[in-house]
Amino acid sequence: MAEAALKLVHDDSSTEELAHAVLDPSVSVEAKLDAISKLKEISGQEARAALEQALLYVGHSRISQNTRALPPGGEVSGAAARALAHMPEVGGLQVLSAILFDERSSRMLREAAAYGLGGSLSPHAFSILHSGLMLSDPDIRYRILLSLRESLEHVTYIAAPHIEGILHCLVDLLLQAGDKGVSLESEMIGALLTRFASQRAEVRMAEILMRVNSDGVCASMVQIIRGRGTENSKRLLGRVLMSYGRPAFVYEQIGEELAGSCDPVIVEAAKGAVKHYTIWRRVVGVLSVFEKRGREAQIGAAYAIIGIG
């Protein structure tokens, strides 16, 4: 039975024969993958319909959340989704989008769709993944984040607005997380922003760091900006140093990052913080415990940058 089914997969196989090979349980995984590859090469409406049928039939296999690799049994659904992503001219991306946003579909099938979209570097695929970040299921969002990471690592030509929109959305997700604690999702978002953030995204995170009172959000933002390691990000930390009322740990991390800096912009920011502190101290007099700790951390960071103490 298996040998007979395997004969269906050859260079001259018809679309119908290849579709049958993908759905036949007696056919090996390797032969199914070969059939899917050939369907992708054939393209066209019939090949797309065959791949869609294959994805829906075998899409019960769960895509791994911890790695981009597919687990045993999930190769076929993942390969079918990837093949559909490479058929935009016949609506392959629309098929994957419909599955991803259909809350009646199984989570496993929706994860397979997200995985497939990660294999396309088209602006349309980016747009679908971007919209998917607003879905309520955290497992689906995490699979989308994995796909975005894979796409961003290989992208070289996606228009800036598509990237900026995604980065803006990622920052929003961290803001929404607030003080809920570290999760796989927040860790992945932090890793994505640390690696791919634009200057505009860096500025937005610094502005959030200067005004938001959530310790969780502040911790995420300062860690990401530090991790960027760019001249722009370091100067933004200098701006944050001059802001008032930040948690002590924010100033402490800034001091660690910028200690001994020779950048005149950063040095001037540190001197400005010392000057403002001196004037403010003369006027205020008594400090609350929170204010005192924060101010001491702020001035300590400034001194570390200037080279005092």
Each of the 309 residues of the chain gets a pLDDT tens digit; together they read: 444 444 555 667 788 888 888 888 888 888 889 999 999 988 889 899 989 988 887 654 444 444 444 443 478 888 999 999 998 887 999 999 999 999 998 888 899 999 999 988 788 898 999 999 999 999 999 999 999 998 888 776 555 567 888 999 999 999 988 878 778 899 999 999 999 999 999 999 999 999 998 999 999 999 999 999 999 999 999 999 999 889 999 999 999 999 999 999 999 999 998 888 777 666 666 556 666 788 889 999 999 999 875
What pLDDT is stored for residue 23 in this prediction? 84
What pLDDT is stored for residue 284 in this prediction? 63
Kindly state the tokens that stand for 28.
Answer: 């090996």
Q: Residues 171, 204: contact at Cβ < 8 Å? A: yes
What pLDDT is stored for residue 286 in this prediction? 59
Rounded CA separation 23/18 (Å)? 9
What pLDDT is stored for residue 134 in this prediction? 93
Contacts of 267 (CB under 8 A, 6+ apart): 261, 305, 306
Q: Residues 171, 200: contact at Cβ < 8 Å? A: no
Please state, in angstroms and as integers, the Cα–Cα distance from residue 160 to each residue in 74, 79, 123, 170, 195, following that order: 34, 29, 10, 15, 16
> Dihedral sign, CA of 182, 220, 244, 201?
negative
Q: What is the pTM of this model?
A: 0.82
Amino acid at position 66, single letter: N
- Token pair 């978002």: residue: 189
What pLDDT is stored for residue 94 in this prediction? 94
Rounded CA separation 48/188 (Å)? 32
Rounded CA separation 97/218 (Å)? 34
What pLDDT is stored for residue 289 in this prediction? 61
Rounded CA separation 19/46 (Å)? 10
What pLDDT is stored for residue 172 in this prediction? 94
Rounded CA separation 40/52 (Å)? 12
Rounded CA separation 69/148 (Å)? 15
